[in-house]
Amino acid sequence: MRTQVGIIGAGPAGLLLSHLLHLRGISSVVLEKRSRDYVERRVRAGVLEQGTVDTLIAAGVGERLLREGLPHHGIELRYDGERHRIAFEKLVPGRAITVYGQQEVVKDLIAARLEAGGDIRFEVEDVAAHSLADRPYLTFGGERLDCDVIAGCDGFHGVSRPAVPPGVLQTYERDYPFAWLGILAEATPSSDELIYARTERGFALHSMRSPTISRFYLQVPPDTDAADWPDERVWAELRTRLETVPGFTLTTGEIIEKSVTPMRGFVTEPMQYGRLYLAGDAAHIVPPTGAKGLNLAVADVRVLTEALTAFFHDGSTGALDGYSAACLKRVWRAQHFSWWMTTLLHTFDSDDAYGRRLQLSHLDYVTSSEAAATTLAENYVGLPW
């Protein structure tokens, strides 16, 4: 078999790349080790930046997003018994975020690719990348796929990044001393916008996925087992951390999913080697506080699409050679913003009274200074492409 671009991974990065390349007349094959049902049900991020929404609409896969997505024009910071709204419509006019689950984006992209005759192969075994320096090809399940370029979109634990020879890539990492316990509940959202709550007991986040499904997160120790958190305990802790302002009552319901997410930052440089180009979680991880993971993957894919278009249509290699440098500027900006939001809102050392006072002082500054609030807002909705 032969194609122009071999794509490892049928997550948002791989699927969007395949679709954008199709719109440019460039062929691709997507290889995914999981089943279609698994990737369409896998619950991940749900906050889409303005640029991500615009990209999906322009690619012709935004019909359901426009119909079912929940546009938000602000977020709430809650601390010290008070609520403070960061108003996007005032601080960054014309830009917002949209709440629309990552699994819904994946469903839309799979449907679009299959309708257009795209080649997506689910449940493939033993995927491996070879001859990356000059004549790349992929093997899987006893078959071989020759290609001009390989795109590694297979996540942090995938096979694409380890295929690079040792010593080529440099990695930067930071592990945080806590995790997030996340739940999905059949409960009407208690707020029209996301609530980021900083308390002495730890951070909490109130989010949503639809008018009837709510998403919550609790800061917990990194070794937490979700089984140690029965539903009653989860709701009690959420009430303690969120019902801290007058008039607010948390709506509860049946919990339909429960999981623990570690908090870490990770970047690999460069994001390319030979004819292999890494995108999304295969190249970088951010703590979810800043809601940047999926959006960074889309940004990578936009850059890679333009570079591949120049390569296949004009024979130009300049944009491909500069792919990593172009992406890393945005990656490191998102890393900093995610680190900043994380350190601003989470409880670290319980004995660090000095650090807690610094947090409160900074929160006071962000919620009282238009300049500081604008910095938060423009990073949160996504910097312009």
196 tagged catalytic: yes
Q: Which of 296, 290, 246 is nearest to 268 (CA)?
A: 296
Pairing of strands 143-152, 2-8: parallel
In terms of Cβ atoms closer than 10 Å to its own Cβ (0-12, 13-18, 19+), residue 64 is middle
Beta bridge partners of 199: 202
Query: Which residue out of 189, 288, 323, 346 is catalytically annotated?
Result: 288
Structure tokens at 268: 């690999």
380 tagged catalytic: yes
* Dihedrals phi, psi of 205, to nearest 5 degrees: -130, 130
Single-letter amino acid code for the residue at 292: K
288 tagged catalytic: yes
Say which residues have a Cβ less than 8 Å from residue 296's Cβ, sequence separation at least 6. 280, 284, 286, 330, 331, 334
Single-letter amino acid code for the residue at 287: P
Integer Cα distance of 10 and 2 in angstroms: 19
Specify the 3-state DSSP secondary structure of 47. Answer: strand
Integer Cα distance of 203 and 237 in angstroms: 11
* Residues present in the chain in total: 385
Structure tokens at 153: 């979109």
Say which residues have a Cβ less than 8 Å from residue 67's Cβ, sequence separation at least 6. none
Cα–Cα distance list, 345 to 45, 197, 254, 374 (Å): 19, 7, 27, 18
Locate tokens 């945080």: which residue?
176
Pairing of strands 254-269, 170-186: antiparallel
Query: Which residue out of 196, 217, 273, 277 is catalytically annotated?
Result: 196
- Catalytic positions: 72, 196, 288, 292, 380
